Amino acid sequence: MLKIIVDPGHGGKDAGGGSNSLFKEKEWNLQASLYMKKLFESYDLSADLTRDIDMYVGPQKRARIVRESGALVCISNHVNALNGHQSGFEIYHSIFAQRDFAECIKCELNQTDMPPNGTPIRARRGSGKPARDYYFMHRDTGAVQTLIVEYGYGDHPADRERLAHDWQPYVEAVVRGTIKYLKKAG
């Protein structure tokens, strides 16, 4: 059976940068991830979580949980923040990964009312280390193909409202995109 691992970003003492007056990012990520797990299981797919309560899981432990999960793919759920002027979803993949998985999710998110942020599929190289991924979730999770999905910007008024009050369609889109990718990957 195909296995998926879902990572609710942040948690415990780490509230997350996408926190705002309507929600804390860590709580939003957990709520979305629990719903995502339930959706995957409704499609008879095995899904685990890196955390299922509000607790801090450090980077090394989080990456180890993903690496040792036996999962084919990992979705790391987040809400972005920058300057209150950026909006929309973004999907980050490893600099060593093909864009196929991210493309499947982008196509599904494009069907929702959350706009993409510019060119939403991105890979980020390490500062001063261009042959290395910037994000530990890409660098340290081994063979598990990991995507970081930033559903929108918690410091942008429209995104904040969408994410606070009508977030389920975005999670459903990511699940559909993941299933589409898994079917294509065989």
Span 89-121, pLDDT tens digits: 999 999 999 999 999 999 999 999 999 999 999
pLDDT on residue 92: 98
pLDDT on residue 126: 94
Q: What is 3-185's CATH topology?
A: Aminopeptidase (3.40.630)
Q: Where are the domains of the chain?
A: 3-185
pLDDT on residue 138: 97
Lowest average pLDDT, out of 25-29, 46-50, 124-128, goes to: 124-128
Considering only CA atoms, which of 54, 74, 33, 45 is closest in space to residue 167? 33
Dihedral angle of Cα 37, 116, 135, 31, to the nearest 10 degrees? -30
| Encoded tokens for 151 | 């559903």
Q: Residue 1, CB half-sphere, CA atoms under 13 Å: how many? A: 10
Q: Mean pLDDT across the stretch 164-175?
A: 98
Mean pLDDT in the chain? 97
Q: How far apart are CA 118 and CA 86, in angstroms?
A: 10
Q: How far apart are CA 119 and CA 125, in angstroms?
A: 16
Q: How far apart are CA 3 and CA 41, in angstroms?
A: 10
